[in-house]
């Protein structure tokens, strides 16, 4: 496949963009370009030539049609909270920011569905539907700033995926704009449909490489008003990893099952000056159960307590006030931000839930083989998703071995039936490892789908796989 040849923005093209979205919404000042040159990875920067902020699907269509005609690359961007380089304009061109498209258009209580624009934040839709007794489950540490458009692009998971699934499980339909400028409408407020290909779900997780999603139809459910939050210490991550299989054996499907390596907690404590009395041990498990029946929820919490009593290295703490619950979640949600300055790479691997203990054994073997590599782990053990923070090193041995160590971790993950990313995506950061997760025939099929949607390769080039590579 021959790599596309892209064009630079000219003064005439900038004037055309301004005529489509309005003069104030085409930004070329250095500060605006710099703010959109990377995402939350913060390790690779690529300056765009302009930042364009459309206010409607029609304006998105006009921008894409113009850029397709003149072969100008377009990088869609939500809240910029991604961790795979998905929103970086690696080929220059424009960054298409959908922050102006931030309206909640409808909350349909009878159909239990919401219609929202792509720039709405996760927290905004959660608060809006909870006010009328409904629930949108996907929840992220960055819910206050991550947008639904970005969530659908990366099929975001979050802390509640073990019980409620990931973003794709809550998307019923969408409006999207193809790179050639056509506006398409897919799905709707339908519980079921067997009419044609499910193009809605094809767009979920496509990382903005196939179309720009401008509007979503989200599935909702009744709000689970009752919940219990429990925290227990374990000797190490190996011991903590046994909790998930034990709970599932007992018939408990928790809303949340998070594992936290003690060193992650210590990093937060050193930064904030706060201490957390979680008992001794090298790992902590955070478990939540919820539901609409208070008696049933309490019974599940008792089963969690019994499992922890058998496996944990200390007493189980029940977070029995909103303040305690808020405090433990503030700790958990701060890991990424506080550890980021120390981190070189942050793989978010996923294995079958039954293989989480085996993953930690494999990780120890890889670290034993590459002693210069140091990691801190935490993540969503209930759905098999572990965030592995590979710390920066300064020695020649570290520089010589870090990439080999990461690749070996990925190979071990795939051998366990897992894959290289659960929720962050492939983006620009992980594309060199795509060959570990898929065969050549499978990658070729993805490329052909990309070509069908985007024949000139203008939309988010350099993500998932290299253009023409």
Instruction: Give me the count of residues in the chain.
Output: 469
β-strand partners of 230: 287, 318
**pLDDT at residue 350 above 70?**
yes
Same-domain status, 96 and 233: no
Number of domains the chain contains: 3
Same-domain status, 118 and 202: yes
Domain coverage including residue 67:
1-223+439-469
CA dihedral (118, 120, 126, 129) in degrees, to 10, reads -80
Place of tokens 């498990």: 285
For the CA atoms of the chain, what is the radius of gyration?
23
**Maximum Cα interatomic distance, the chain, rounded to a whole number of Å:** 70
Same-domain status, 129 and 215: yes
Read off the pLDDT of each residue in 197-207 and give the average, rounded to a whole number: 97
pTM as predicted: 0.94
Tokens coding 257: 């099952």
Condensed to tens digits (0 to 9), the pLDDT of residues 399-417 reads: 999 999 999 999 999 999 9
Condensed to tens digits (0 to 9), the pLDDT of residues 19-62 reads: 999 999 999 999 999 999 999 887 778 999 999 999 999 999 99
Of 281, 310, 333, which one is at a domain's C-terminal end?
A: 333
Of 333, 361, 381, which one is at a domain's C-terminal end?
A: 333
Of 270, 303, 333, which one is at a domain's C-terminal end?
A: 333
Tokens coding 340: 């980021």
CATH of the domain at 432: 3.30.70.2740
Read off the pLDDT of each residue in 110-123 and give the average, rounded to a whole number: 98
The answer to whether 153 touches 75, Cβ cutoff 8 Å, is no
Same-domain status, 10 and 140: yes
DSSP conformation class of 292: S
The per-residue b/e assignment along 392-426, b for 16 or more CB within 10 angstroms, e otherwise, is eeeeeebeebbeebbebbbebbbebebbbbbbbbb
**pLDDT at residue 371 above 60?**
yes
Same-domain status, 347 and 424: yes
Same-domain status, 3 and 142: yes
H or E stretch covering 115: strand 113-117
Same-domain status, 151 and 207: yes
Condensed to tens digits (0 to 9), the pLDDT of residues 288-321 reads: 999 999 999 999 999 999 999 999 999 999 999 9
CATH of the domain at 306: 3.30.70.2190
Same-domain status, 230 and 219: no
Distance CA 273, CA 253 (A): 34
Share of the chain above pLDDT 90, in %: 92
β-strand partners of 176: 184, 213
């Amino acid at each position: 496949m021959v790599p596309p040849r892209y064009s630079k923005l000219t003064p005439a093209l900038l004037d055309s963009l301004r005529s489509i979205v309005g003069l104030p919404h085409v930004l070329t000042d250095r500060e605006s370009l710099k703010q959109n040159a990377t995402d939350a990875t913060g390790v690779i920067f690529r300056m765009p030539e302009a930042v364009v902020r459309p206010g409607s699907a029609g304006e998105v269509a006009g921008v894409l049609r113009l850029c397709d005609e003149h072969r100008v690359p377009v990088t869609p961007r939500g809240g910029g909270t991604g961790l795979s380089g998905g929103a970086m304009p690696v080929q220059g061109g424009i960054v298409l920011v959908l922050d102006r498209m931030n309206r909640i258009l409808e909350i349909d209580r009878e159909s239990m569905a919401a219609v929202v624009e792509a720039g709405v934040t996760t927290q905004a839709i959660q608060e809006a539907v909870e006010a009328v007794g409904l629930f949108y489950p996907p929840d992220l540490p960055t819910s206050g700033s991550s947008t639904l458009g970005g969530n659908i692009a990366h099929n975001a998971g979050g802390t509640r995926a073990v019980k409620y699934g990931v973003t794709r499980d809550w998307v019923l339909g969408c409006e999207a704009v193809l790179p050639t400028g056509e506006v398409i409408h897919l799905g709707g407020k339908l519980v079921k449909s067997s009419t044609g290909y499910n193009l809605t779900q094809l767009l979920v997780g496509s990382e903005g490489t196939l179309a720009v999603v401008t509007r979503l139809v989200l599935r909702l459910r009744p709000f689970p008003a009752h919940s219990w939050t429990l925290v227990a210490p374990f000797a190490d991550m190996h011991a903590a990893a046994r909790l998930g299989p034990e709970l599932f054996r007992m018939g408990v499907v928790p809303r949340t099952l998070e594992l936290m390596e003690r060193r992650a907690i210590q990093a937060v404590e050193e930064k904030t000056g706060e201490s957390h009395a979680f008992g001794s041990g090298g790992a902590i498990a955070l478990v939540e159960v919820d539901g609409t029946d208070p008696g049933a929820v309490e019974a599940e919490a008792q089963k969690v307590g019994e499992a922890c009593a058998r496996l944990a290295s200390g007493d189980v703490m029940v977070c029995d006030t909103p303040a305690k619950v808020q405090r433990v979640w503030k700790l958990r949600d701060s890991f990424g931000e506080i550890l980021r300055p120390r981190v070189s790479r942050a793989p978010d691997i996923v294995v079958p839930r039954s293989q989480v203990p085996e993953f930690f054994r494999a990780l120890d073997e890889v670290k034993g083989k590459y002693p210069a590599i140091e990691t801190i782990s935490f993540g969503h053990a209930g759905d098999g998703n572990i965030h592995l923070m590979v710390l920066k090193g300064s020695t020649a041995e570290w520089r010589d071995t870090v990439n080999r160590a990461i690749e070996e971790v990925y190979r071990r993950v795939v051998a366990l039936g897992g894959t290289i990313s659960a929720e962050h995506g492939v983006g620009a950061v992980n594309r060199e490892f795509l060959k570990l997760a898929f065969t050549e025939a499978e990658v070729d099929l993805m490329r052909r789908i990309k070509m069908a949607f985007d024949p000139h390769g203008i939309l988010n080039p350099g993500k998932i796989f290299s253009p023409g590579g």
